[in-house]
Amino acid sequence: MKKIWILGLGLALAVCACGNQTQNTQESKEEELVVVNDHSNDGVLRVGISMPSDSLERWKHDGEFLKKHLEEAGYKVDLAFSDNLIDTQINDIEGLIENKADVLLVTAVDGKSLTGVMKKAAEHDIPVIAYDRLIRDTPYVSAYVSYDNYRVGQLQGEYMRDALNLEHAGNKIYHVEFVSGDPADNNSLFFYQGAYDVLEPYMENGTIQVMSGQTDFYTTSTAQWSSINAKSRMDILIGSYYSSGSTLHGVVCANDSTALGTLMALEDSYRYENAVEVTGQDCDVANLQQLMNGTQSMSVYKDLDQEALLAVQLTEAVLLEQSIQADLASTMGIPCIYDDTSYENGIITVPSFLLEPETVTAENAEDILVNKYHSYELGPLGFERVSE
């Protein structure tokens, strides 16, 4: 057994954070951590993966993709899905620790609820990579892999700005509502803020009016990214504000599941004939059908395979005890940006490896999804995800 003093260093476990190490040390409280490494000498390199749920297409795909490619790289892999339940995920991660994982790859159900189990991982000398969702309120996170989430929101806001021609609105007034993501998902705030920052000038000058008055993140959020929850809220908004003469022109939806709920509400409750611009994210198959038939306006594409492959490469780097720093990004086979200033988790600024998202519309969907990334194909029923 060894005893070390952790001064807020998420990378003190197996890697070192260059650049922001001093800042993290100064900002964190001194904490004694007793470390017992019972996995490094067992002759097995094992990766533990914890995903939120296999009921959402996104996480089922990512979990299975990560497992497949890590196994092909020669690692043992334990994969757990948590049914979107915090306690289940904590139990799952504890099980991965007990099964002697050498590194953990975690997409948090709730980024603020894993503080205790992250410390337990640190006590077993297991580095943690946060995948797609930042893990908050803990110094024990070695790195973060994601898309540039603020940019995702910007793309949604820019699309709404251009689709409604807000720059040349003259005296026209446009009614727009926000349907934000799960408040437990740290990414949701970045999506919201990116879109809001683009559209805020038009709200301030009166070109955009939000008839409901609901513009802050938490009021517009959607628990668990649920389509049902999004539909219920949008049904209420339509009935309260868009049923007696006021037309709705746009809904900024944070992702495709919230967009799907919004589209269902528009079909069931909205009585006017004008087209409503609806944004989304993830290019889920069901939403691509809506995109091509003109009911959903756009989605933001994040090549999940690229993100997962980047996570595989970063996992290998951590296992090889390479330093998590800017130079590492240039060695990755996947183009990415190293950011050690933006993703502050409440205790440390987590070194982040970020990919660039793309706007997908009916006009460019085939070029981007089929021809560029080869992640979808066009079948008799429309877009289908290419099987591994």
pLDDT tens per residue across span 255-274? 999 999 999 999 999 999 99
Look at residue 321 and tell me whether its pLDDT is greater than 80: yes
Q: Are 113 and 87 in contact (CB under 8 A)?
A: no
**SS3 call for 60:** helix
DSSP H or E stretch at residue 382: strand 382-385
Look at residue 235 and tell me whether its pLDDT is greater than 70: yes
Give the model's pLDDT for residue 1: 35
Q: Are 358 and 84 in contact (CB under 8 A)?
A: no
pTM for the whole structure: 0.79
What pLDDT, in 10s, does the model give residues 45-63? 999 999 999 988 789 989 9
**CA-wise closest residue to 296 among 208, 216, 383:** 383
| Nearby residues of 246 by Cβ (< 8 Å), 6 or more positions away | 175, 211
Give the model's pLDDT for residue 31: 61
Q: What average pLDDT does the segment 109-136 reach?
A: 96
Neighbours of 176 (CB within 10 A): 23
What span, in angstroms and rounded, lies between the C-alpha atoms of 36 and 39?
Answer: 9
Give the model's pLDDT for residue 34: 87
Q: Are 204 and 289 in contact (CB under 8 A)?
A: no
CB-based burial of residue 363 (10 Å sphere; 0-12 exposed, 13-18 middle, 19+ buried)? exposed
Q: Are 130 and 141 in contact (CB under 8 A)?
A: yes
Give the model's pLDDT for residue 27: 43
User: What does CATH list as the number for 149-281?
Assistant: 3.40.50.2300
| Nearby residues of 201 by Cβ (< 8 Å), 6 or more positions away | none
Look at residue 293 and tell me whether its pLDDT is greater than 90: yes
Q: What average pLDDT does the segment 306-319 reach?
A: 93
- Same fold flag, 2-147+303-356 and 149-281: yes
Give the model's pLDDT for residue 179: 98
Q: What average pLDDT does the segment 102-128 reach?
A: 96
Per-domain boundaries in the chain:
2-147+303-356, 149-281
Give the model's pLDDT for residue 320: 87
Q: Are 86 and 110 in contact (CB under 8 A)?
A: yes
What is the assigned CATH class of domain 2-147+303-356?
A: alpha beta
Give the model's pLDDT for residue 386: 86
DSSP 247: P
**CA-wise closest residue to 376 among 260, 281, 285:** 285
What span, in angstroms and rounded, lies between the C-alpha atoms of 105 and 346?
Answer: 20
Cα Rg, the chain, nearest whole Å: 22
What tokens were used for 185?
A: 């998902």
Looking at 31-35, 111-115, 134-138, 185-189, which range is the least confident one?
Answer: 31-35
Look at residue 4 and tell me whether its pLDDT is greater than 90: no
Distance of CA 272 to the CA centre of its chain: 34
Give the model's pLDDT for residue 35: 87
Q: What Cα–Cα distance (Å) separates residue 350 from each residue in 137, 294, 312, 356?
A: 11, 40, 18, 18
Q: Are 227 and 187 in contact (CB under 8 A)?
A: no
Helix residue ranges per DSSP H, 164-303: 186-204, 217-220, 227-241, 256-269, 285-292
Look at residue 25 and tell me whether its pLDDT is greater than 60: no
Q: What average pLDDT does the segment 212-217 reach?
A: 98
- State the amino acid at position 92 in one-letter form: D
Look at residue 252 and tell me whether its pLDDT is greater than 50: yes
- State the amino acid at position 57 in one-letter form: E
What span, in angstroms and rounded, lies between the C-alpha atoms of 187 and 23?
Answer: 23
Q: What average pLDDT does the segment 121-141 reach?
A: 96
| Nearby residues of 239 by Cβ (< 8 Å), 6 or more positions away | 269
Backbone phi, psi, residue 344, to 5°? -90, 125
What pLDDT, in 10s, does the model give residues 342-378? 999 999 999 999 999 999 999 999 999 999 999 999 9
What tokens were used for 275?
A: 């087209």
Only one residue has tokens 């004939």, namely 273
- Please report how the helices 227-241 and 256-269 are oriented relative to each other, as an axis angle in degrees rounded to 10: 40
Q: Are 39 and 100 in contact (CB under 8 A)?
A: yes
CB-based burial of residue 132 (10 Å sphere; 0-12 exposed, 13-18 middle, 19+ buried)? buried
CB-based burial of residue 302 (10 Å sphere; 0-12 exposed, 13-18 middle, 19+ buried)? buried
- What b/e string do you get for 367-377 counting C-beta neighbours within 10 Å, with b at 16 or more? ebbeeebebbe
Q: What is the mean pLDDT of the chain?
A: 90
